[in-house]
Amino acid sequence: MLKNLIMAVCVVGAIASTNAQTKENDIPVENLPPAVKEVLVKYVSILRNSKTLDECATAFTEIAGGTLVNDDGKSLRSGTKQFGLKKDYNDIKVYADPIVITRVNATPSNGQGYGASKIRGMVYKIWIQKKDPALGMPAPVSIMVPEGHAQITTPKVINVGSY
């Protein structure tokens, strides 16, 4: 019984992993909207140029969205800084400078976030190459272009901790 349960969990995990990396919605890198690329470049610049994690978090709040921010959309959720943002802040040094985008996937989303800061729209999952490919696979950052929100109209980083 336990053996069958473990096998079922492994199969489900393998299927979910495969679906998460599907290339079905990939678009050519050159088709990445300029406003999305601008936010990506700003995010990487914040990571590289902040002297402390606190400075990084303060600057990042402006371009953060979805589940990374509190309901007010003006402050980071408690786990964002101490986990995902901290990982990206520490790991950005192993990524190509200037950034090299290796892949873009565009998928619509019905919603990300909570309360007044909940947004929906097109999500661009953008893979960034490491300085040396021997250091591992490119890592993604997800940026959403909000649609239909009265106050949030510019692209927002909605996923951190992949770098």
Domain positions in the chain are 26-159
pLDDT exceeds cutoff 60 at 15: no
Distance CA 41, CA 46 (A): 9
pTM of the model: 0.86
pLDDT class of 8 with cuts at 50, 70, 90: very low
pLDDT tops 60 at residue 99: yes
Alpha carbon distance 79, 90 (integer Å): 16
Helix extents (H) in 2-159: 2-20, 34-49, 53-60, 78-79, 86-91
8 or 35: which leads in pLDDT = 35
What is residue 3's predicted lDDT score, i.e. its pLDDT? 53
pLDDT tens for 127-143 read 999 999 999 999 999 99
